[in-house]
């Protein structure tokens, strides 16, 4: 039956299912979008207050906050991409899922509470109160890094939506691609520009509940299929992968040469350190009104994300065990179709429709959070503090935030259409690397090191950004191999695809160097900052 | 409280500061704050190193000691897969310990210090208001 269904799928021009499923998917997707859009309109900020637009409802319970964090964090890449990697490469894919959860440990244990206590609306406010001399140039640098990370990740989400569409209709024509990106992009802009943070929270919570439920139920179906025997699941996965025991051991994706292994380590480093420094996650950390609520929220978030990632592992193994590795690779060599094929085997077209509308909503949620984070950074740091030097009124600032949300959305759409062939993973991994090597050193130093100065911040922000981008430009991703952007040129002297292993230490080193080389700033500033960060002097 | 408060603390250099620390600087120098900062940092750093470092070691082991990770434990469960599951357990335990540690060692002190800061700030504001009130009162009389 498996081969028959797979053969049928391949006959449908490499699409996952038939037309009825696509229609059901669209109906489900549109229903959720319409319902959430109305909720967003109802909960949208009524007055043009920046605290409401940037931080939303600050009295939410830890569970709702945790759901919103989980929604901001888990993208369609986790639902489709990671499960696909597990299905194709077994052990290495599971390792990748583990990194996604571990990334929250650094955020919870070191950064979340002092950051919330000392922060105000954006990350730029924290840096400005820590480095009052030269705060404008630091804000500018931070806004640029935020913009780079957000745009890369946003483009990854929009390109992902094209890839998802391709699962249904085969290779999409230019018009279909443009339609898909424009529709998704427009909805995202409406969420971010009209709804602000309250609107984004609505969609995040809805999405997180749907994601946890959807992934959980499908995983239960997989486990039930193997009568709750994990060993049987593992053995069928190993048998149907046509690789035998090698499937359950390391090295399928990142094995072989030392370069490959280092590349994987570099990627894990960027994920584990970078995810906690992604701007849209940072904004979520600033929102709760008390430290205690924040701690509870992050614990909920880690729990939910851990659950989803464990279940995603089960889904990936189940896809190989039930559908077979070859069939998954036939439909999509990157494995993005694994969950949908599994859904078809377990629950027919209905489950496929549910899962794919879930994937679209997930895309939408993450893209909305990213657009909002970038818009806040532009409006508050760039416009409010750098251009207007703090003289802008709240109404003005909110208007700028709405406009820049639209501008970023349009920019993301154009970039996505231009670069639709690139792998979403490459874009997302570059965003992680920039976050880990530019934003994270600055945050860690400003929270914990007295000697940190504005010059150190500038060096680590610009240096980390430049280092990660340049290393990727000179990596095999851009030139020298048959899969790169310019396969005919060869200027790839950096052997790894992920720059993290070099650029993260470089970011920390540059921050230290800049601080040591510049004049020390007055100690009172750090003393007051530290008291605020630890005591939480004002429960904002 | 005197009717005319000193403009700043260095006004009467002979009087040592009171037993209750109130300003941010005095709070930062108080032993309570220092021990709390130590408790917060040492636990945070250690726990981060254990959970993040543990995971990165696991990644390195998987890459460079594949033979060891492939040793079967029970059925198809290899050492590598078991260690992966242990990462989740390790995280759960770390989070539980962290929450307990913060609740016992850090939160009470932070709350006390916060209350002190709040008090001193409220007092300073009241003084400033009183001064302002006086000034405006003088101005009012002046116009008459």
pLDDT in tens, A250-280: 888 777 788 888 988 999 999 999 987 899 9
Q: Give A 422-481 residues with CB within 8 A of chain B.
A: 448
| Per-residue pLDDT at A539 | 60
Q: CATH no. for residue A344?
A: 1.20.1730.10
**Range ranked top by mean pLDDT from A216-220, A240-244, A251-255:** A216-220
Question: Model confidence over A82-125: pLDDT tens digits?
Answer: 899 899 988 888 998 999 999 999 888 989 999 988 888 889 99
Q: Give A 260-279 residues with CB within 8 A of chain B.
A: 261-262, 264-265, 268-269, 272-273
- CB–CB of B56 and A265 under 8 A? yes
Tokens representing A419? Answer: 């670069």
What mean pLDDT is reported for chain B?
78
| Per-residue pLDDT at A14 | 41
DSSP-based three-state secondary structure for B72: strand
Residue A463 lies in a domain: yes
Q: Please tell me what DSSP assigns to residue A520.
A: P
Mean pLDDT throughout A335-363? 88
Confidence tier at B109 by pLDDT (50, 70, 90): confident
Which residue segment(s) compose the domain that A182 sits in?
2-535
A244 touches chain B (CB under 8 A): no
B5, pLDDT greater than 80: no
Question: Chain A partners of B75 at a C-beta cutoff of 8 Å?
Answer: 231, 234-235
Distance CA B95, CA B112 (A): 24
From the list A99, A262, A530, the residue facing B55 with the nearest CB is A99
| Per-residue pLDDT at B17 | 45
Confidence tier at A538 by pLDDT (50, 70, 90): low
Instruction: Tell me the nearest-neighbour CA distance from A353 into chain B, angstroms.
Output: 31
Mean pLDDT throughout A68-72? 93
Mean pLDDT throughout B111-136? 78
| Per-residue pLDDT at B135 | 56
Residue A204 lies in a domain: yes
Mean pLDDT throughout A289-301? 91
Mean pLDDT throughout A226-235? 90
| Per-residue pLDDT at B8 | 52
What's the pTM value of the predicted model, to 2 decimals?
A: 0.88
| Per-residue pLDDT at A409 | 94
From the list A92, A108, A528, the residue facing B24 with the nearest CB is A528
Considering only CA atoms, give the Rg of chain B.
Answer: 28
Question: Model confidence over B11-39: pLDDT tens digits?
Answer: 444 444 444 546 767 777 788 888 888 88
Instruction: Tell me the nearest-neighbour CA distance from A512 into chain B, angstroms.
Output: 19
A12, pLDDT greater than 50: no
**Range ranked top by mean pLDDT from A50-54, A137-141, A347-351:** A137-141
A384, pLDDT greater than 60: yes
| Per-residue pLDDT at B31 | 84
Q: Give A 77-106 residues with CB within 8 A of chain B.
A: 91-92, 94-95, 98-99, 101-102, 105-106
Q: Which residue has the tokens 């190193």?
A: B49
- Cross-strand bridge partners of residue A479: A486
Mean pLDDT throughout A294-307? 94
Question: Model confidence over A398-454: pLDDT tens digits?
Answer: 999 999 999 999 999 999 998 877 778 888 889 999 999 999 999 999 999 989 999
B47, pLDDT greater than 60: yes
- CB–CB of B40 and A534 under 8 A? yes
Contacts of B52 (CB under 8 A, 6+ apart): A102, A105, A106, A272, A273
| Per-residue pLDDT at A2 | 41
Q: Give A 309-368 residues with CB within 8 A of chain B.
A: 310
Confidence tier at A370 by pLDDT (50, 70, 90): very high
| Per-residue pLDDT at A16 | 54
Size of interface A-B (CB pairs under 8 A): 141
| Per-residue pLDDT at B114 | 84
Question: Chain B partners of A310 at a C-beta cutoff of 8 Å?
Answer: 88
A369-387 burial: b if 16+ Cβ within 10 Å, else e: bbbbbbbbbbbbbbbbbbe
pLDDT-above-70 percentage for chain A: 96
* Residue with the larger pLDDT of the pair B141 and A73: A73
| Per-residue pLDDT at A13 | 37
| Per-residue pLDDT at A8 | 41
- Residue A348 region, left (φ>0) first, then alpha (ψ -120 to 50), else beta? left
Number of domains making up chain A: 1
B122, pLDDT greater than 90: no
Residue A239 lies in a domain: yes
| Per-residue pLDDT at A432 | 93
Length of chain A as a residue count:
540
Residue A540 lies in a domain: no
Confidence tier at A376 by pLDDT (50, 70, 90): very high
What mean pLDDT is reported for chain A?
87
| Per-residue pLDDT at B106 | 87
Mean pLDDT throughout A119-143? 89
CB A454 within 8 A of CB A134: yes
CA A66 to each of CA A51, A284, A303, A340, A534: distance values in angstroms, whole numbers, following the listed order? 20, 9, 9, 27, 22
Residue A348 lies in a domain: yes
**Range ranked top by mean pLDDT from A153-167, A333-347, A471-485, B42-56:** B42-56
Question: Model confidence over A495-513: pLDDT tens digits?
Answer: 888 999 999 999 999 999 9
| Per-residue pLDDT at A81 | 85
A242, pLDDT greater than 50: yes
Contacts of B106 (CB under 8 A, 6+ apart): B36, B39, B40
Give the residue from A72, A74, A41, A39 showing the smallest Cα distance to A371.
Answer: A72
* Residue with the larger pLDDT of the pair A333 and B141: A333
Question: Model confidence over B79-108: pLDDT tens digits?
Answer: 989 999 999 999 999 999 999 999 988 888
Confidence tier at A463 by pLDDT (50, 70, 90): very high
């Amino acid at each position: 039956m498996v081969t028959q269904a797979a053969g049928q799928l391949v006959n449908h021009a490499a699409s996952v299912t038939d037309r009825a499923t696509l229609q059901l998917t669209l109906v489900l997707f549109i229903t959720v979008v319409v319902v959430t859009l109305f909720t967003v309109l109802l909960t949208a900020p009524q007055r043009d207050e920046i605290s409401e637009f940037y931080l939303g409802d600050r009295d939410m319970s830890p569970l709702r906050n945790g759901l919103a964090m989980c929604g901001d964090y888990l993208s369609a890449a986790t639902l489709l991409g990671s499960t696909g990697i597990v299905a194709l490469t077994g052990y290495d894919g599971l390792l990748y899922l583990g990194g996604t959860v571990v990334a929250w440990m650094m955020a919870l244990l070191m950064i979340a509470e002092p950051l919330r206590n000392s922060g105000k609306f954006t990350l730029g406010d924290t840096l400005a109160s820590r480095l009052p001399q030269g705060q404008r140039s630091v804000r500018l640098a931070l806004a640029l890094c935020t913009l780079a990370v957000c745009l890369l990740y946003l483009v990854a989400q929009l390109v992902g939506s094209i890839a998802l569409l391709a699962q249904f209709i085969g290779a999409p024509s230019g018009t279909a691609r443009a339609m898909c990106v424009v529709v998704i992009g427009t909805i995202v802009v409406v969420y971010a520009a009209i709804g602000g943070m309250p609107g984004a929270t609505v969609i995040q919570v809805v999405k997180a509940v749907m994601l946890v439920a959807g992934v959980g139920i499908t995983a239960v179906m997989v486990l039930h299929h193997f009568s709750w025997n994990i060993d049987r699941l593992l053995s069928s996965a190993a048998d149907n992968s046509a690789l035998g025991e090698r499937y359950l051991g390391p090295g399928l994706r990142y094995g072989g040469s030392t370069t490959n292994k280092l590349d994987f380590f570099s990627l894990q480093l960027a994920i584990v350190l970078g995810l906690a420094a992604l701007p849209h996650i940072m904004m979520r950390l600033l929102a709760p009104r008390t430290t205690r609520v924040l701690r509870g929220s992050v614990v909920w978030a880690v729990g939910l994300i851990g659950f989803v990632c464990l279940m995603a592992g089960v889904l990936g193994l189940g896809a190989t065990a039930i559908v077979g590795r070859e069939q998954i690779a036939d439909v999509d060599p990157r494995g993005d179709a694994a969950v949908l094929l599994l859904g078809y085997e377990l629950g027919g077209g209905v489950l496929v429709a549910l899962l794919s509308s879930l994937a679209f909503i997930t895309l939408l949620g993450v893209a909305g959070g990213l657009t909002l984070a970038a818009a806040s950074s532009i409006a508050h740091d760039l416009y409010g503090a750098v251009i207007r030097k703090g003289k802008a009124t709240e109404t003005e600032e909110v208007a700028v935030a709405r406009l820049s949300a639209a501008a970023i959305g349009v920019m993301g759409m154009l970039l996505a259409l231009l670069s639709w062939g690139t792998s979403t993973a490459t874009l997302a991994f570059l965003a992680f690397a920039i976050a880990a090597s530019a934003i994270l050193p600055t945050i860690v130093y400003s929270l914990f090191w007295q000697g940190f100065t504005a010059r150190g911040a500038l060096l680590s922000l610009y240096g980390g950004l430049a280092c990660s981008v340049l290393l990727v430009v000179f990596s095999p991703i851009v030139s020298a191999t048959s899969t790169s952007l310019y396969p005919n040129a060869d200027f790839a002297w950096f052997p790894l695809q992920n720059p993290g292993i070099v650029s993260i230490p470089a970011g920390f080193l540059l921050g230290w160097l800049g601080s040591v080389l510049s004049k020390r700033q007055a100690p009172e500033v750090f003393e007051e900052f530290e008291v605020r960060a630890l005591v939480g002097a004002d429960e904002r | 409280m005197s009717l005319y408060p000193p403009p700043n603390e260095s006004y009467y250099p002979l009087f040592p500061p009171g037993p209750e620390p109130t300003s941010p600087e005095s709070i930062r120098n108080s032993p309570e704050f220092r021990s709390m900062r130590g408790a917060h940092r040492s636990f945070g750093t250690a726990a981060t190193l254990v959970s993040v470092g543990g995971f990165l070691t696991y990644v390195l082991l998987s890459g460079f000691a594949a033979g060891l990770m492939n040793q079967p434990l029970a059925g198809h469960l290899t050492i590598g897969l078991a260690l992966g599951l242990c990462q989740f357990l390790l995280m759960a335990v770390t989070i539980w310990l962290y929450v307990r540690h913060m609740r016992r060692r850090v939160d009470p002190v932070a709350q006390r210090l916060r209350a002190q800061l709040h008090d001193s700030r409220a007092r300073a504001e009241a003084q400033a208001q009183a001064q302002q009130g006086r000034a405006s009162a003088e101005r009012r009389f002046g116009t008459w």
